[in-house]
Amino acid sequence: MMLLNIGYSNMVACEHIVAVIGSDTAPAKRLIGEAKEAGRVIDATCGKRTLSVIVTDSDHVILSALSPDALKKRADGDEDNE
């Protein structure tokens, strides 16, 4: 099982990630709102601004303070993009 560091020592299992999207679009904001109402949001931003939204196969929505590009680089093995 490969874990992806999504910032601030928070990890997500890569095989459960369905999508990583930017948080600044209306559909992303709607997705976050619906998930909050259903109790399926995991906030891993540690109080920082949300830059990406990670959707999992269990329909959980994980908020990260890292950009989608930074998460892709980390998933590809390039950890030098802090």
Q: Report the distance separating Cα 32 and Cα 12, nearest Å.
A: 18
CA angle 38/41/44 to nearest 5° reads: 170
Read off the pTM.
0.92
Task: Determine the residue type at 4.
Answer: L
**48-75 tens-digit pLDDT:** 999 999 999 999 999 999 999 999 999 9
pLDDT in tens, 7-39: 999 999 999 999 999 999 999 999 999 999 999
Query: Side chain identity at 12, as an amino acid letter?
Result: V
